[in-house]
A and B are shown apart, each in its own frame.
Chain A
Amino acid sequence: MSRGAGTRPPLALVLAAGVVVALLLLPLAYLVLRVASGGEVLEILGEPTTWRLVRNTVLLAAGVVTCAVLVGVPLAWLVTRTDLPLRRLWAAAGALPLVIPSYVAAFCLLGFFGERGLLADALGVERLPAVKGYWGSLVALTLATYPYVFVLSQSAFRALDPSLEEAARGLGTSGRRTFLRVTAPGIRPAVGLGALLVTLYTFSDFGVVSLMDYDTLTRAIYVQYKSLFDRAPAATLALLLVALSGVALAVEYRLRRRGRLYRSGPGTRRPQPVVRLGRWRAPALLFCTAVVGLFLVLPTAVLAYWLSRGIANERELGLPWSEALHSVVASGLAAGAAVLAALPVAILALRYPSRAGRLLERLSYAGNALPGLVIALSLVFFAARWASPVYQTLALLVFAYVVRFFPQGLSGVESALETVSPRQEEAARSLGLGPLRALAVVTVPLVRPGVLAGAALVFLSAMKELPATLLLRPIGFDTLATEIWGLTQVGAYSRAAVPALMLIVVSAPVLYLVSSERRFESGASG
């Protein structure tokens, strides 16, 4: 910790952070209202089914986090620190599954590995064992979430000051010990954040568990809402989900607090030392091929197959340009708004450590584990009553995206701030700059790559968001996600493949923008 307890944050900063977090807590307020009006909380908490759902949800999240870290971190290390051939390609392809909506991924995996899927066809066997349930959900959600860990660890590996590792090596520490004592702690905050995002994503996901027929809290919440009557039980389960995410937040916070490393200076963007893979080259390539093959090539190939079937059956296949534009506009605005909103919260939490600042920051995550439907209905409730001019406008849709994906923007800003030493701001302030000015002049340029990464995560999540988009978009404002939904509703997979592929194609350049090394370097030095 850098600052003495006596340093008080500027009032404007506190106010801004407070307003942001208060807005993010609207869905929670709605749930409390609903539970209070229904009041069978104890009854629901006493039911064994409820605890079975909690267990299922925790098991799935634990499995997905484990897989996402096991896939994401090694991949990030390989593409940032080694002489792996085609590193740029692996870096781009490895992050790309982020743009595949998890429900599309589940459709594709079922289409391929299903009992009578394409694989069974290709093998010429009668039927394959079903891949539904826990394992099917695990694979589909790993596909959808490991890129969070991958992207964040990649920036951490890059941002890590090479002089720290060099110093360790110079003092005679072995390569392995240097990795364990210097590199691993250096990337731990980023991996922890990634794991947190994965956990919250898994908690909130409905598409995958519903297609894979695996009961989690979120699936039960949907069933409750669809049973149409009493909304209190669904709200109770949703609050349970919030409580679970509280546990995840506490764990992540502990991980992060254990030591942190700052860059020694802003100008030292020196090239990282390159690890020679030697005989590990072939296994490393095999690993990359397996990851990209399973998580990117396979779903895309299934989509392409459906598309070809549509062409063969002469179905109408138009390119959804206006839907693509709508998706990009709404998601772009959401990305900008989310990182802007994240700045005061992150700065307050990391630069002016205080119980209140930390609490605000943690609270801002609370809604992220909620299913999109719950967030959407809560905003319907508030906006239709008290903000009817913005109800069902683009502004409210963008706001809903920010509420859903704020932590992703925050994660980018925070992991960047983590690596910038407060000493540099202190130096600027000792030269007579005010606290906000010091932040603007010294810190903001340094954190730009992280901020961009955060904005990109929000953008990509918003591109594929479905439940809130359906209920809150302006009428007629079709996006690629709603288009895919509309077509899969009537079983028209061959036609749904068009917007799904388009979603991937449109999102890919954004990923390239943030994951390309050059961009990072020019961002940091200029």
Chain B
Amino acid sequence: MKSIPLLLVLVATAVTAAGCGGSDDTLTVYSGREEELVAPLFDMFTAETGIDVQVRYGDSAELAATIAEEGDNSPADVFFAQDPGSLGSVDAQLETLPKDILDRVDPRFRDAEGRWTGTSGRSRVIVYNTDALAEDEVPDSVFDLIDPKWDGRIGIAPTNASFQAFVTAMRLSEGGEATRTWLEDLKDLSPKEYEKNTPVVEAAAAGEIELGLVNHYYLYLVREEQPDAPIENHFLAPGDPGSLVSVAGAAVLASSDQSEDAERFVAFLLSDEAQRFYVDEAEEAEYPLIDGIEAKAGLPPLSSLQGPDVDLTSFGAEHEATIELLRETGYLT
């Protein structure tokens, strides 16, 4: 049988792979943030503290669902997620973070009960094609998008958490009925729908659409791939729901048996060194959240961004109503 050596190789590799499971003093992080973007942060942490980290990368919402299914048996110590909604959906399984960690971040960027904290910020913007539009032609409010002239020229990603968070912000700041009307009016303009932010920005770059409702940092990712793409971000007027500033964040699981190391990791994410990473190293230019560290050159300072007056903490609980509204208005099924 010539397949025997092959079998042996398979089994040997399987045994080796089984052996690389974590030892007891390894910190386990579930990361909904992309490996491509945040992997250096984990190396920096290990170099600084000597604590080994193993990371399970995945989609934030899917990892939240995994944590929920695992219950108290979750192997995760830390949940590092893309959005407040994912963190909020498992808040019953999270421990309250120590005060000195929470104090580093402006209260508007963390959970009111202290179960998770933002670690970097992102602003909603309108990305536009610079061949098609001059900046002063781009609306300063999402309400100005409701105009027949934009018919067929707008791109959105309604199944994506970031678009849904924006709708939640609009509901909370402008009311449910105003939001429903806005969504219905937008639908009449036949916006083009994409899977998530990156394809929206790419479509704007390709001229498939002229305007896209996205988070600000995808522009930089697309530029990595297409350095000459004719696209720019337009930041909306203060207070407009379309200028929502949201966060990626981190939390420690209550079921963790290494909560001390886990808290050290969250504290590290808010250290000067890690926060500077978003400014100096990261491809995608997110906002650092702690005082004294300015955003990447070319970005308006965080303090100048005034999103709508809403509490990110409630986004988890409000999510369901947003989904329902998006379903009723035909954006989701």
Residues of A with C-beta under 8 A to B221: 490-492
**Main DSSP-derived SS at the B contact region:** helix
- Tally of A-B residue pairs with Cβ under 8 A? 155
Q: Does chain A have a CB within 8 A of B121?
A: no
Cβ 8 A contact of A486, one of B34, B73, B195, B208: B34
The residue in chain B whose Cβ has the minimal distance to the Cβ of A397 is B17
Asked if B71 contacts A385 (CB within 8 A), the reply is yes
Cβ 8 A contact of A228, one of B56, B61, B203, B225: B61
CB distance from A306 to the nearest CB of B (A): 9
Q: Does chain A have a CB within 8 A of B297?
A: no
CB distance from A334 to the nearest CB of B (A): 11
**Main DSSP-derived SS at the A contact region:** helix
Residues of B with C-beta under 8 A to A436: none
Asked if B73 contacts A210 (CB within 8 A), the reply is no
| Contact indicator per residue, chain B 42-64, by CB within 8 Å of chain A (1) or not (0) | 00000000000011111101111
Residues of A with C-beta under 8 A to B62: 225-226, 373, 467, 470-471
CB distance from A383 to the nearest CB of B (A): 9
Residues of B with C-beta under 8 A to A493: 225
**In the complex, which residues 77-121 of chain A have their Cβ closer than 8 Å to any Cβ of chain B?**
114-116
Asked if A384 contacts B69 (CB within 8 A), the reply is yes
Size of the chain B interface, CB-CB below 8 angstroms: 65
Residues of A with C-beta under 8 A to B208: 114-116, 127
Size of the chain A interface, CB-CB below 8 angstroms: 58
The residue in chain A whose Cβ has the minimal distance to the Cβ of B10 is A332
Residues of A with C-beta under 8 A to B161: 226
Asked if A228 contacts B319 (CB within 8 A), the reply is yes
| Contact indicator per residue, chain B 78-94, by CB within 8 Å of chain A (1) or not (0) | 00000001100100000
The segment out of A10-18, A156-164, A248-256, A472-480 that lies at the interface is: A472-480
Residues of B with C-beta under 8 A to A213: 193-195
What is the bound-complex CA distance between A326 and B20, given in angstroms? Answer: 13
Q: Which residues of A contact B (CB under 8 A)?
A: 49, 52-53, 114-116, 127, 210-211, 213, 215, 219-220, 223, 225-231, 309, 313, 315, 325-326, 329, 332-333, 336, 373, 377, 380-381, 384-385, 388, 391-395, 467, 470-471, 474-477, 482, 486-487, 489-494
Could you jot down 27 A-B contacts, CB within 8 Å?
A53-B333, A115-B206, A223-B333, A226-B62, A227-B320, A227-B323, A228-B320, A309-B225, A313-B225, A332-B6, A332-B10, A336-B7, A373-B62, A377-B69, A384-B74, A384-B75, A391-B73, A392-B75, A393-B21, A394-B18, A395-B18, A471-B66, A474-B20, A475-B56, A486-B35, A489-B34, A492-B224
- Report the 4 A-B pairs with minimum CB-CB distance, sorted nearest first: A116-B206, A228-B89, A491-B198, A226-B61
Q: A223-B323, A329-B14, A471-B62 are in contact. List 4 more A-B contacts (CB 8 A).
A: A213-B194, A394-B18, A470-B59, A486-B35
